[in-house]
Chain A
Amino acid sequence: MKTLIFSDDGEIAAQISSYLKEGFENTIVTLKGEEGKCRRSGARSMFIFTGQPTASGLSLALKKLKDQNSADLVFIGSTAIGRDTAGLLAGSGGFKPLSEVTSVQFSNGKATTTRYLYGGKSVLTEESDSNLFVVAPGISEASLTENETEITEISLDQSPVTVEGEDQKSTGGADIEKAKVIVSIGRGLGKPDGLKLVEQLASAVKGEIAGSRPVCLDYHWLSEDRQVGLSGKKVRPRLYIALGISGQIQHIAGMRGSRTVVAINKDKSAPIFEECDYGLIGDLYTIVPKLVTALTS
């Protein structure tokens, strides 16, 4: 089947393209500047848009590309602009959309998809004849090949919505509320020096570092905008790793929405162990290095 894969984030485009290996003829579309991340992900052809992207402009251009390439299926990475683009395509006709899919299989002209519902509390399995899939980031690992795909540049169509400049997103503050993976530390870290070890783990799991109130507010080992809890941020990552956090209710209030919780604490009776999926009882200074090794090997 011929597919058209679009994401304004080249990484996601590569993930989707890698996921759709067998029996698909992929065309990747991304924005100029993002091509490097998906150029070697095995697509037949590749287009990059130049000019300021807006959902309206993108949807017009993608519709044209789909027709030109007579693609059967369109996949769009789930980003802010991706979802809007998909919505516009679906709304202006010709597309049957399905959103936030975490897996998709085709047989007999039907797609069987899964996605999370109720904030991750349930998994919905559906069968449909959809032809537009908005794909949740991380559907697979982007596997890169040697070959680089040829690239054609297209300038984006005129859009009724225009862009008049951009602002930088403030980069200083961590946005732990949006993080998919969080490594969170508590007083059990004992000393600010321990952060080095934590950083290793965080980079191994591609996560943000956050902490309990004492660590952020009282000791300032982390900045205050990294505090999780009742009086801090409410986070809902896929993975929350709690290191040396006892799990008081004020802390739990901020991370209860996490999908999977791993806790490391030397006190067997720490309340965090009632809020976790996996608990390792012991000294974090001996466990974390082992974890890092296991994750990176």
Chain B
Amino acid sequence: MIYLSSVLLLIGLLVAVASFLYTLYSLFWNAVKIPEKKIRMKISLPRRIYILIRNVALQGKLFKDLSGGIMHALMFWGFVAFAGYSATFFARGIDPSYELISPGLFKDVIFLTVDIFAIVVIVDVIYAVSRRWILKIPRYQGYNGFEAAFILLLVSVLMVTYYALGVLRMDGASAGIPGAIMEGIPPAFTPVTGFFASLFPAASGSGAVDLYWVLYSIHAIDFLTFLVYIPTSKHLHLVAAPLNVLLSKDTKPAQLTPIDFENQKRFGASDIRDFSWKDYLDFYSCTECGRCTYNCPAFLTGKTLSPRDIIWDLREVVIAQGSKARHSGIEERDKILTPVIGDPISEEDLWSCTTCMACVEQCPVMIDHVEKIVDMRRSLVLNQGKAPKETIETYTNMENYGSPWVNDPSTRGDWAKDLGINILSETQNDDFDILYWVGCVASYDRRNQDIAKSIVSILKKANVKFAILGSEEKCTGDPAKRTGNEYLAQNLATANIETLNRHKVHRVITGCPHCFNSLKNDYKAMGLEMEVIHHTEFINQLVSLGKLDLKSLESDDKEKFTYHDSCYLGRYNKIYEEPRTIIKAVTDNYEEMEMNKSKALCCGAGGGRLWMNETVGTKISHKRMEMADKINATTVVTACPYCMVMLDDARRVMGKEEKMHITDIAEFVASRLN
């Protein structure tokens, strides 16, 4: 028997699925055909599956924002359950004799889950509406409100019609109607439907059958509309995000893809062809949730940079230009693809980024904003020679003096002259176990020289046989790399690698997280194999091995300590606990600031910003010091020379010198050595 309803349903389904697939095909073919940027990826399947389970199935990263996370997770799980119902709905609707899942306890349990989650989803929708339109949670404001409302409407109609059809079924109105589902499910397995049925008088007769068909049609049309709508809206993430998570580049963030200057023709990202297929998947996965932007230090202090907008703007450009570019020849492409820098993405926003990774850390669908931002900076610097004036000066200085400031490189080791240590540029004596990499800031900045001296005294105390490079050390290139001057960064790295090899260095300790990250990750990518340790790790090891005996000072009782996480130590290299362990080994007077560890607020210096002016909004460093002030901290412990410079400056300018100290973990330890 062929029923009219089955035919209509089949046609509807075919049309909707075709539309769904075509849009997807078009989007994903864009991602295959247009990008020219090549990326390397490791397979590491077990890790990927783990991440997939953690971040998709268990919705792991979403819980960084707890209430929003719970809401989304319930919605997600509800949908997974509901998918089983919908499949059955269409299978039976098209062929009423077909049993997708054979009757039995298993089937009953599935429908039990559906029955429960459907009400959860309805509550969730109400909650979502209130967050967006009543509580007015800031991160949702101003973003595609219509789209959100439409989706929530579709979802709620779907759930309500599900229950309504269920109530009719319980009343017996659907018995014998071809395509009706869930007949014969014991009422105990649909408790919520049962509850609703008890609220209404039983329907019967031809009126009930008519009502059934009306609801049935609404339900089917709603579902099909949803299917068509998904890939054209932010709900594309339903499809793209799981893929994105599965294919996420690496778990080590911000490994900027190196440039092969000999063979590449285009540097950095100027238009949409300069991104990789993975970047496209990032664009498609964005849900506009705004978690990135509302953790971005630049945004939080009044700059116009918004990582969400960067991703979303690029996505819109891909959608607007993609299909046309895909169908055209190379020359036409040059005309169709317009530069993305300037419009829609402003240069100012690109330079505002501190590369702090807060956005990446927060993004539930594992989008990497920072590499895209740096890629666009690369395009400005490498193709057009454009950068803020102060940044261009630092490039000249790094080239001429091997440091971002104008400093005679022969004086780089002067701070250590009277310390009686092995300065390799003077001794050329390679008899040492570990190299202390000092870095530019500690070499030349007076305040930070004290920290370097503390590190030296700790190394001496622990009888470590170490050396420094003195005038043979050059800037690692981090400020150049993060501002997009990959060319200069590679030159500096090559020179340093040559020096390190010449002195046969196998182990390095450094007090600077930026040097640390460069040496450990960037240089490694260039083929340098050595063990790189940050001083927080090293000191922690020494303390736990009993090689350093720390005493607490009398003044410690009067102090309240807090620790400010460096982005390049924390989010970049996942070192959160070591410094805290060290501090807590000495004192109990410790309290966390708001925004700490993986959520820590940047000091404002990364990404080359230490050498730029910050004139828009409030200074990031001031905001951080306010947080320290809020918990009445008297000493902020840092582990990064950049943070030291920024926070010390903030402390002075805000007139908190009397009230608050800033000390590096090395100084903290050195002054408490027994």
Which A residues are closer than 8 A to B by beta carbons?
187, 214, 217-218, 230-231, 246-250, 253, 256, 271, 274
Contacts and interface: CB of A to CB of B under 8 A. Distances in A.
Contacts of B652: 187, 214, 246
Interface string B436-449: 00000000111100
B390 A271 contact: no
Closest 4 CB pairs of A and B: A271-B446, A249-B445, A231-B613, A214-B653
A85 to B, nearest CB: 34
Contacts of A217: 615
B332 interface: no
B649 interface: yes
A250 to B, nearest CB: 8
B406 A248 contact: no
A253 B446 contact: no
Contacts of B390: 230-231
Contacts of A249: 405, 444-446, 645
Contacts of B653: 187, 214, 218
Most chain-B CB neighbours within 10 Å: which of A230, A248, A250? A230
Interface in B622-674: 645, 649, 652-653
B611 interface: yes
B406 A256 contact: yes
A248 B447 contact: yes
Contacts of B645: 248-250
Nearest to B390: A231
A246 B645 CA distance: 13
A interface: dominant SS: helix
A231 B446 contact: no
Interface in B568-617: 611-613, 615
Given A247-B446, A271-B446, A274-B446, A230 B615 contact: no
Interface in B414-462: 444-447
B639 to A, nearest CB: 19
A246 B445 CA distance: 12
B424 to A, nearest CB: 24
A217 B405 CA distance: 21
Contacts of A218: 653
B613 A253 contact: no
Given A214-B653, A230-B390, A253-B406, 10 more contacts: A187-B653, A231-B611, A246-B652, A248-B445, A248-B446, A248-B645, A248-B649, A249-B405, A250-B645, A271-B446
Nearest to B445: A249
A190 to B, nearest CB: 11
Interface in B382-414: 390, 405-406
Given A248-B649, A274-B446, A231 B405 contact: no
Given A187-B652, A249-B405, A256-B406, A230 B447 contact: no
Nearest to B619: A218
A234 to B, nearest CB: 9
Nearest to B405: A253
B445 A230 contact: no
Contacts of A246: 652
Nearest to B444: A249
Nearest to A270: B446
A187 B406 CA distance: 24
A258 to B, nearest CB: 13
A218 B611 CA distance: 17
21 contacts: A214-B652, A214-B653, A218-B653, A230-B390, A230-B405, A231-B390, A231-B612, A246-B652, A248-B446, A248-B447, A248-B645, A248-B649, A249-B405, A249-B444, A249-B645, A250-B645, A250-B649, A253-B405, A256-B406, A271-B446, A274-B446
Choose among A246, A247, A250 the residue with the greatest number of B CB atoms under 10 Å from its CB. A250
Nearest to B622: A218
- Which one of B390, B405, B406, B446 has the highest number of Cβ atoms from chain A below 10 Å of its Cβ? B446
Contacts of B649: 248, 250
Contacts of B405: 230, 249, 253
A218 B615 CA distance: 10
B265 to A, nearest CB: 35
Contacts of A256: 406
Contacts of B445: 248-249
A271 B406 CA distance: 17
A247 B444 CA distance: 12
A274 B613 CA distance: 26
Contact of B611 (A230, A248, A274): A230
Nearest to A272: B446
A88 B615 CA distance: 46
A247 B449 CA distance: 14
A231 B390 CA distance: 6
A119 to B, nearest CB: 12
Nearest to A253: B405
Contacts of A247: 446
A231 to B, nearest CB: 4
A225 to B, nearest CB: 13
A108 to B, nearest CB: 41
Interface in B12-59: none
A270 to B, nearest CB: 9
Nearest to B393: A230
Nearest to A256: B406
A223 B615 CA distance: 14
Contacts of B613: 231
A271 B612 CA distance: 22
A271 B449 CA distance: 11
Contacts of A230: 390, 405, 611
Nearest to B389: A231
A158 B592 CA distance: 78
A187 B656 CA distance: 13
A3 B615 CA distance: 55
Contacts of B612: 231
A217 B615 CA distance: 8
A42 to B, nearest CB: 44
A274 B445 CA distance: 12
B607 to A, nearest CB: 16
A247 B405 CA distance: 15
Nearest to A257: B406
A59 B287 CA distance: 73
Contacts of B406: 253, 256
A116 to B, nearest CB: 19
Nearest to B408: A256
A194 to B, nearest CB: 16
A249 B649 CA distance: 11
Contacts of A253: 405-406
Contacts of B444: 249
A271 B448 CA distance: 11
A229 to B, nearest CB: 10
A95 B447 CA distance: 54
A29 to B, nearest CB: 41
Nearest to B615: A217
A217 B649 CA distance: 13
B125 to A, nearest CB: 48
B153 to A, nearest CB: 50
Nearest to A219: B653
A171 B341 CA distance: 37
B615 to A, nearest CB: 7
A232 to B, nearest CB: 9
B427 to A, nearest CB: 25
A235 to B, nearest CB: 13
B301 to A, nearest CB: 14
A273 to B, nearest CB: 10
B194 to A, nearest CB: 68
Nearest to B441: A249
A248 B610 CA distance: 13
A276 B406 CA distance: 17
A265 B444 CA distance: 21
Nearest to A254: B406
Nearest to B440: A249
Nearest to A187: B652
Nearest to A274: B446
B278 to A, nearest CB: 36
